[in-house]
Amino acid sequence: MKKYRVTLGILAIFLFSATWIGSRLWADTTKRNVYTSLEVFQKVLQITRDNYVREVDLNDMIEDAMNGMLRELDPYSMYMNPEEYENLSIAMEGEFSGLGVTIGIADDWLTIISPLEGSPAFAAGILAGDKIVEIEGKSTEGILIEEAVSKLRGKPGTEVTITVARQGVDEVMEFTITREVIKLNAVRYVTKLTPDIVYIKFSKFSRTAHREVADAIDSMFNKENASKLILDIRYNSGGYLNEGVDVSDIFLERDKAVVQTRGRSPKMIRTYRSHSEPLLGDYPMVVLTDYGSASAAEILAGALQDWERALVIGDTTFGKGSVQTIYPLHNEGMLKLTSAYWYTPSGRCIDKHRAELEEDEAKGKQSYHTLGRRKRLLPNDGAIAPDILVEGETRMDITSDFIMNRVFFSYVVDFLSANPDFELGFEITDEMIEGLIEEARSRDVEFTDEEVEEARDQLAFRIKLEIANQKWGEEGWFKVSVDEDPVIQKAVELLTKAQTSGQLFGYID
């Protein structure tokens, strides 16, 4: 027996030693491979510096190499030098001069996530989903987001020309847009649509988002006696994770899960919860979404949908559900690295690409349901699908051509110069339509009489929008837009009939 135990002991020691030696050999081999690769990289830099046909900046080459490495991981991981990081901070918190677009990478191309309403890009006719294939005649293939930002921004009053590829349009389109100062207020517009329905346009999850949304609701409900809410997060490209959680906190009961982060590092596995009681209790609420709703906007929509707190109306969101962590570097640069994915309280992955991978890994699609009493089945294709699909305006070709050629803008400039005493509530006359057509012909825009007749109502609406924007600014633009928006009108229709949240959800049961 003693000999048997000694033999087992020797065997155990041997196995442990073999495992330890093997792991050390593997680790040493891995280290040697990495060190060898780094030595080769350094040698390549040295040879290039000394022998390339023209003088090169090694710092630029190293930055390009780092970003090339990170680009292979995903579109959002990148190295940022101090200037680029400062630009990112400004975009999140302050104001800047540019076009007023949020951009990302989709299908390897620079893509518009959303234009800000009232911005130069929005006025020019840029749409969510447009791919910017050239900036000032140079291809954007392989461009980094921060590089694109630096090219699109500039001094107010200066112009930049971009070439856009749009789904469903055979030829690329060229836009020359004048840069303006872009102010990043979280809440862009607040109004009452009926005596009891308030509308809030919520455009950005900046550091002041929670306060701005809470103040708007408090003012309209307590001072204006509203009792139902439409929260419009279309074209809201997101922002700070914490603000997404805090804004959700305004509507959810205490200790409800808002979003989960799941990453490879244990510290990135976390559930964020609401930490206070809702601002004004329960009341009928609708959230409006579209393809331009992304990031923290999807966190908010997903949490409110999962807990059956709000009815989601509109179109499916963008599907940007990844977490980027900022790591400071000793040269004052920053590493922005994707460190986790976002999941709604029910467990749905918000990131469209990751959701597809998880479905493949699971060899089937898992079912998810709301966490309220109805336990409704939820789609799980990544992004946030609406409870009720309502498509926005489908822009006709002639309308797009008029926008690209600045026909509406130029016609309205001349019209208001001759008719300065316009007031809100005006109607578009046949004479105004004919004036618009004459302006288009003077700019050599090609179209047929049949196209004009088919798009007559749309052209009239665009004239009205342009007049309101030029005459009264952003508030006028929103006033006209809200009154004729089919998605908003659907929300008003449902809220008018519903006196409680339960009645509102009864329309989709």
Q: Has 417 been annotated as catalytic?
A: no
Strand arrangement of the beta sheet that strand 311-314 belongs to: 187-192, 197-202, 228-232, 285-289, 311-314, 388-389
List the catalytic residue out of 306, 315, 351, 485.
306
Query: Which of 408, 488, 443 shows the shortest CA–CA distance to 189?
Result: 488
Strand ranges (DSSP E) for 108-253? 109-115, 131-135, 138-139, 159-165, 173-178, 180-183, 187-192, 197-202, 228-232
Q: Has 483 been annotated as catalytic?
A: no
Query: Which of 236, 260, 268, 238 shows the shortest CA–CA distance to 337?
Result: 268
DSSP symbol at 116: P
Q: Has 363 been annotated as catalytic?
A: no
> What span, in angstroms and rounded, lies between the C-alpha atoms of 498 and 121?
37
DSSP reduced 3-state for 67? helix
List the catalytic residue out of 204, 228, 256, 320.
320
> What span, in angstroms and rounded, lies between the C-alpha atoms of 307 and 349?
16
Beta-bridged to residue 159, according to DSSP, are 178
Q: Please compute Rg for the chain using Cα positions.
A: 27
The Cα angle at residue 148 between residues 146 and 149, in degrees rounded to 5: 65
SS (H, E, C) 252-308: CCCCCEEEEEECCCHHHCEEEECCCCCCCCCCCEEEEECCCCCCHHHHHHHHHHHCC
List the catalytic residue out of 114, 203, 295, 501.
295
Query: 237 and 292 in contact (C-beta within 8 Å)?
Result: yes
Q: Which residues are catalytic?
A: 295, 306, 320
